[in-house]
Amino acid sequence: MTLRTSLLAMTAVFALALLWPAALWAQQVNPEDGLRAQQVVVDPSELSVRVGERVPFQVRAYDAEGNELFPEFQVRGTMGGVWVENGEAVGVGVGEHSIAVSVLPPPGIVLEESPPSVSVPVEVGWPAVETVEIQEPDKRLYQGASLRLDLRALHADGSTRGYPDVQWSTSDPDVATVDRFGRVAAHSTGSVTVTAEVEGVQGSLTTEVVPFPGERVEVRASAQDVHTGDVVHLEARVLDGTGSEISDAPVTWSLEYVPHDSIGVPQSPGQVRDGRFVADVPGQYTIFARSGTVEGWASVEVQGRNVVRRIHEVGRGAVRDRRTSDFWVYEGVDGRDYAVTGTWGTGGFAYFWDVTNPENIVLTDSVQVDARTINDVKVSPDGRYAVLTREGASDRRNGVVIMDLADPAHPVVASTFTEGLTGGVHNTFPTDDYLFALSAGEKYLILDVTDIYNPRYVSEYRHPNGRVHDLWVKDGIAYSAQWDAGVVAVDVGHGGWGGSIDNPVLINAYELPSGRTHEVIPYYQESTGRLLVFAGDEIIGRQGYALEGGTDRFPYDPDVPGSGRPRSTAGYMHIVDFTDPENPEKIARYHVPDYGTHNSWVEDDILYQAYYEGGLRIVDVSGDDLMGNLYTQGREIAVYKPYDPIGFQRNAPMVWSAQLHRGYVFISDANSGLWALELEPEEPPIP
């Protein structure tokens, strides 16, 4: 195959790809065997594995005469479906998946033809349910009232079955009935047992239905005049005939509204849940609280949020001959402002820019390292060093390159660290004294970089149930984005959970529904005292969506059918309250349906979200609380799409990252390089 075809094949490799020697890695690897291999055989040729289970398999290669060879292999699983680790297939997500295995040529060699490869079908199923537990409700089941029961279906290892198929029933339908979702309605007094059955395993809960003494409901709202996106807190008090509160009475919420503009109003103008209400469109809302046969309500007037501001281009650091990846803007030790940008899939270049005057961005230097991709570039808070990550090195050693920024305009390589990082480094997080570096998606290493010319291994953390993709450290806690495992919080110096930089200790892992947790940034909100974690998905290609679009990452080439189509993406930003790391709670999301998120920045209650082909999105995240989808609430302040008619892919915005620096918004765009933007001030209200 040609060099360009080879690059295309390499860019399709997920972070799950691993380099393995032959025959279950028991033999001495001979990379030169990659030139003679004609056939790849996997035993068994089909695999069946349950979620969380590990099944071993063997990989062998043969030449044309049937002699066994011992090349390196590239082995990759299906994101969210099956992983490959240490010669084993690991079940992750239920469904039909595959493992792709191909022979690798020797380092630095590009084959004219595609190397031998094979795809192994993998069926992933659930483990058997062992116990079913119906949770004891915190409210009482009164006659004439209803409440929904929650349950957990547990496997033998203690893991929880997601969305189990439950058969519900009650012992006496005259006393109470239950629907298919576990909502119990009480009809008369008496004892009743509710049973839930999952795959033949039963759990039950017995309760007593008693007469309902409630005669009225009082509802109080925390505010009566708000804007779209403001969360109103509601208190419902169920009272008996003497005015005493019945604190254990269940309450259900509903709403009705009269819109300010009846033309084009959506079906769902807002939502009310667990005593919290938020509106997406302006109007007059009435929120009802019902308990048994009585109800009360509160009324709220909602105006539009009106936060839109103009944004315009200030300057450019154009890169049009290759794809740009991540970037970082920083103050150099000389007091001037600089930026460093990486490149993706195209020769290991990094560029250094003087951005002191954003209207005149100047390229001051560049460096090329042995890598296919410099995915991530970051700079220490003190501006002392920069770090470049390496993926696809010709010798497959990868690791990180640490740059000395004593002369920020003309940095020099201080050191390269590869031990434990040879599988590729996708992201890093530098502090003044320590560098956190991801290793092949499996774990992250912590390096002592007080002497950047002699970095030293300190410790590492590997989460047992998730591939790591991104990391951010704040106040001694490392928050990592770990795909199916969601957001993982680890004590790396906070000390509250016994962890230190030498001994990382897991605090908690919080799963997110997408299973594609790709990026994470913690943000302390001063106005509320909360620690919010913004965690983004990444879904490339939009398979299964009505708008699938293209996934090609290269410019139009008349010799390559289908080339030149912009990528299409999906996924959104999850907002999780991590104030108590032991009890995190997802409170809201920012979801633009036709595009997918990438990296973000949060400062002064504003989210600067790189939304790939959806451009840069600037979002108001202020307020005492957040709820629902911020996109539908009029919280978008500005949107900017960086069109470049002579870009790497022409007029195809693909915003990779965003960062605020000295009042300017900087973005990196995969097809056009570095941009400096200015968000115009809020306009005074029109009288």
Residue 256's identity, in one-letter code, is E
Shared fold status for 129-209 and 311-679: no
Residue 21 has pLDDT above 60, yes or no: no
**Order of strands across the sheet with 183-186?**
146-148, 183-186, 176-178
- What is the model's pLDDT at position 1? 28
29 vs 588, more confident? 588
- What is the model's pLDDT at position 2? 31
Closest CA to 72 of 42, 43, 35: 35
460 backbone dihedrals φ, ψ, rounded to 5°:
-155, 160
269 vs 202, more confident? 202
Task: Extract the tokens encoding 184.
Answer: 């119990």
% of the chain beyond a pLDDT of 70: 94
Residues 438-478 pLDDT 10s: 998 889 999 999 999 999 999 999 998 778 999 999 999 99
% of the chain beyond a pLDDT of 90: 77
CATH number for the domain whose boundaries are 216-303: 2.60.40.10
* pLDDT band with cut points at 50, 70 and 90 for residue 267: low
Lowest-pLDDT choice from 42-51, 59-68, 116-125, 260-269: 260-269
- pLDDT (average), residues 614-621: 98
- What is the model's pLDDT at position 264? 57
Altogether, the residues listed in the chain come to a count of 687
Return all residues near 94 (Cβ < 8 A) that are at least 6 apart.
51, 124, 125, 126
- What is the model's pLDDT at position 557? 83
- What is the model's pLDDT at position 268? 67
Residues 496-540 pLDDT 10s: 999 999 999 999 999 998 888 999 999 999 999 999 999 999 988
Whether the bond into 266 is cis, omega within 30 of 0: no
Distance CA 364, CA 361 (A): 9
CATH number for the domain whose boundaries are 3-125: 2.60.40.1080
Distance CA 617, CA 600 (A): 10
CATH number for the domain whose boundaries are 129-209: 2.60.40.1080
- What is the model's pLDDT at position 86? 81
* pLDDT band with cut points at 50, 70 and 90 for residue 28: confident
Residues 45-80 pLDDT 10s: 999 999 889 999 999 999 999 999 999 898 988 877
Mean pLDDT of the chain: 91
- What is the model's pLDDT at position 9? 32
Residues 192-228 pLDDT 10s: 999 999 999 999 999 999 999 999 999 999 999 999 9
Residues 335-362 pLDDT 10s: 999 999 999 998 999 999 999 999 999 9
Give the containing element (helix H, strand E) for 9.
Answer: helix 3-11
Residue 8 has pLDDT above 50, yes or no: no
* pLDDT band with cut points at 50, 70 and 90 for residue 586: very high
Residue 17 has pLDDT above 80, yes or no: no
End-to-end CA distance of the chain: 67
- What is the model's pLDDT at position 10? 32
* pLDDT band with cut points at 50, 70 and 90 for residue 11: very low
Architecture in CATH of 311-679: 7 Propeller (2.130)
* Chain centre distance of CA 223: 34
23 backbone dihedrals φ, ψ, rounded to 5°:
50, 55
Domain boundaries, the chain: 3-125, 129-209, 216-303, 311-679
